[in-house]
């Protein structure tokens, strides 16, 4: 086992990896940009080294500098977390060349799975179902010809990257030219690669992903599914495990497909096969993420498997020590991604100093965070403040705990997405578990609208609050009037309603 690991990342995922290493008796090395000098991951690590100015391209993406820090610190391995260099095949190659273990798949595997066209070809050969479409990069003319031959609606998608970048829906032939131009431009700007391909558009799609673990000894297991269909602008905001309305038979088929995909790719480590599921429960391979996922804690909650530790053991050449028949689902877990964004202002970023930070707690609650009271949220990196995870014996209990935890979670000094999450978890469609990836746009006005379910308790609470506010305002006005009269040396006139009431009582009641 490794004695020292460098974490080539920041924020909550760096803290997460450091904690796993500490439990395994492994020393940790943090890197930090100039604005992250006081960051939580720097405080938690055994050693920390500066890696450059705030922009990621000058710090957390500097491969030569990171490898030099690894050599200087004596780190035997590097964990990339997610984002930054986590799915950079060149970084994996360079680590191997430097004699440092990259905790993740090889560069060849990352390149094969990172290019969606190549991944689709690999999955098709392995018998894993893919969304009907092309399995090669296309020119603008070829895309237009394919769409006209097949007919819309279709998705024009970038061959590289992810996160919804370089993706456009085409619902009519008139939209082809504009959609292709925008998708290609966004892909070039985001990934430095403007390659595009085309897929049939899946109506009422659900986003279901399967977590896999693989070691170098040929063992591959899946840790069941996660439902990631609550998305805003193709970005996941709430995930849950297991998925909704997934039968045991469907779960087994998807798990087998994910294991087949990992085996076809020659995968070692922790990875995720993402699938689209249509309204008839047919599932199709979407892509494979060759890293730890943001939402991995909900899988840990329902299986009891520490995914980060499993990654480290696999990278060290150890067997997983897990058999598929030993794994089972226990309860239900939900994750809410809390961002430094203002949901009332179209989710614009809300950087600044965290003046108050009081995370939720209690039974069944987990908070993964990279901030603390007094920390600064900058404009340079992902605006995630924390991942709030709740577990329950069933979905209903997990939701109730999430409601309770969201009401307890206090962050001041910056705006957060907590109010938005509170709307989602009150919505009847979410509560019923019958949503798809269009839920936020179709039922919540893109995240700006209220929850449709406005229960009687909430309405009564508002009514009481409004009544109390009106009474308080009346009393303030009365006190001001009394003060003004006293200042003029006069006396306050008797309230006519009180006078009328007293006279009525003396007469034996109202007539």
Which tokens sit at 196? 């595009």
- Tokens 């996660």 belong to 226
- Name residue 272's beta-bridge partners: 211, 289
Q: DSSP state, 488? A: T
Question: Is 401 exposed, middle or buried (CB count within 10 Å of its CB: 0-12, 13-18, 19+)?
Answer: buried
Question: What gap in Å lies between CA 211 and CA 245, rounded to an integer?
Answer: 18
Judge whether 238 and 230 are in contact, CB under 8 Å. Answer: yes
How many CB atoms neighbour CB 410 within 10 A?
12
Tell how far CA 19 is from the center of its chain.
20
CA distances, 154 to each of 140, 187, 243 (Å): 14, 17, 26
Which tokens sit at 370? 């990279």
DSSP string computed for 29-82: EEEEEGGGTT-HHHHHSSEEEEEESSSGGGTTT-HHHHHHHHHHHT-SEEE--S
Is residue 200 part of the annotated active site? The answer reads: no
Helices (H), 192-303: 248-265, 296-303
Question: What gap in Å lies between CA 103 and CA 5, rounded to an integer?
Answer: 9
160 Rama sector, left if φ>0, alpha if ψ -120 to 50, beta otherwise: beta
Report which of 64, 38, 79, 61 is spatially closest to residue 307, judged by C-alpha positions: 79
Judge whether 292 and 310 are in contact, CB under 8 Å. Answer: no
* SS3 state at 465: helix
- Tokens 């939402």 belong to 295
Question: Radius of gyration of the chain from Cα atoms?
Answer: 28
Judge whether 409 and 39 are in contact, CB under 8 Å. Answer: no
Question: What gap in Å lies between CA 397 and CA 405, rounded to an integer?
Answer: 12
Judge whether 437 and 231 are in contact, CB under 8 Å. Answer: yes
Pairing, β 341-342 against β 348-349? antiparallel
Catalytic residue among 168, 232, 251, 291: 291
Which tokens sit at 130? 């893919």
Report which of 39, 136, 4, 3 is spatially closest to residue 375, judged by C-alpha positions: 39
Tell how far CA 5 is from the center of its chain.
25
Which tokens sit at 291? 């890293």
Catalytic machinery residues: 291
């Amino acid at each position: 086992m490794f004695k020292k690991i460098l974490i080539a990342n920041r924020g909550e995922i760096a803290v997460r990896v450091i904690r796993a290493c500490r439990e395994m008796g492994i020393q940790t090395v943090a890197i930090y940009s100039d604005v992250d000098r006081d960051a939580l991951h720097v405080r938690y690590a055994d050693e920390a080294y500066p890696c450059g100015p705030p922009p990621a391209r000058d710090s957390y993406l500097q491969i030569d500098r990171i490898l030099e820090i690894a050599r200087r610190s004596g780190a035997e391995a590097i964990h990339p977390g997610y984002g930054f260099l986590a799915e950079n095949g060149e970084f994996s190659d360079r680590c191997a060349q430097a004699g440092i273990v990259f905790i993740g798949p090889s560069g060849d595997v990352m390149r094969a799975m990172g290019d969606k066209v190549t991944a689709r070809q690999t999955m098709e050969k392995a018998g894993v179902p893919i969304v009907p479409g092309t399995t090669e990069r296309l020119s603008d003319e070829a895309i237009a010809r394919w769409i006209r031959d097949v007919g819309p609606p279709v998705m024009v998608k970038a061959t590289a990257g992810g996160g919804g970048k370089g993706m456009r829906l085409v619902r009519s032939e008139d939209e082809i030219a504009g959609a292709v131009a925008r998708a290609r431009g966004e892909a070039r700007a985001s990934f430095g690669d403007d390659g595009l391909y085309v897929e049939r558009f899946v109506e009422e799609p659900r986003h279901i992903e399967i977590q896999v673990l693989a070691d170098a000894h040929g063992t591959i297991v899946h840790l069941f599914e996660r439902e990631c269909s609550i998305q805003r602008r193709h970005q996941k905001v709430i995930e849950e495990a297991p998925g909704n309305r997934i039968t045991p038979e469907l779960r087994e088929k998807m798990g087998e497909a994910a294991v087949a995909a990992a085996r076809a790719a020659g995968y070692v480590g922790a990875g995720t096969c993402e699938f689209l599921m249509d309204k008839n429960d047919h599932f199709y391979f979407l892509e494979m993420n060759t890293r730890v996922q943001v939402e991995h804690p909900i899988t840990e909650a329902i299986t009891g498997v520490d995914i980060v530790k499993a990654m480290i053991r696999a990278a060290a050449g150890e067997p997983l020590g897990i058999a598929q028949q030993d794994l089972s689902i226990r309860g239900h877990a939900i994750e809410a991604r809390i961002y430094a964004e203002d949901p009332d202002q179209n989710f614009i970023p809300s950087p600044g100093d965290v003046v108050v930070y009081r995370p939720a707690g209690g039974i069944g609650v987990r908070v993964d965070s990279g901030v603390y009271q007094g920390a600064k949220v900058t404009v340079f990196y992902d605006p995630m403040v924390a991942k709030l995870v709740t577990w329950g014996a069933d979905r209903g209990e997990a939701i109730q705990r999430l409601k309770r935890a969201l009401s307890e979670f206090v962050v001041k000094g910056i705006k957060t997405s907590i109010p938005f999450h509170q709307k989602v978890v009150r919505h009847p469609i979410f509560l019923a578990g019958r949503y798809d990836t269009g839920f936020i746009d179709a039922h919540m006005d893109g995240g700006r609208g209220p929850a449709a379910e406005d229960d009687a308790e909430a309405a009564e609470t508002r009514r009481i609050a409004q009544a109390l506010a009106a009474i308080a305002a009346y009393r303030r006005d009365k006190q001001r009037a009394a003060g003004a009269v006293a200042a003029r040396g006069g006396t306050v006139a008797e309230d006519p309603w009180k006078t009328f009431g007293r006279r009525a009582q003396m007469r034996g009641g109202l007539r």
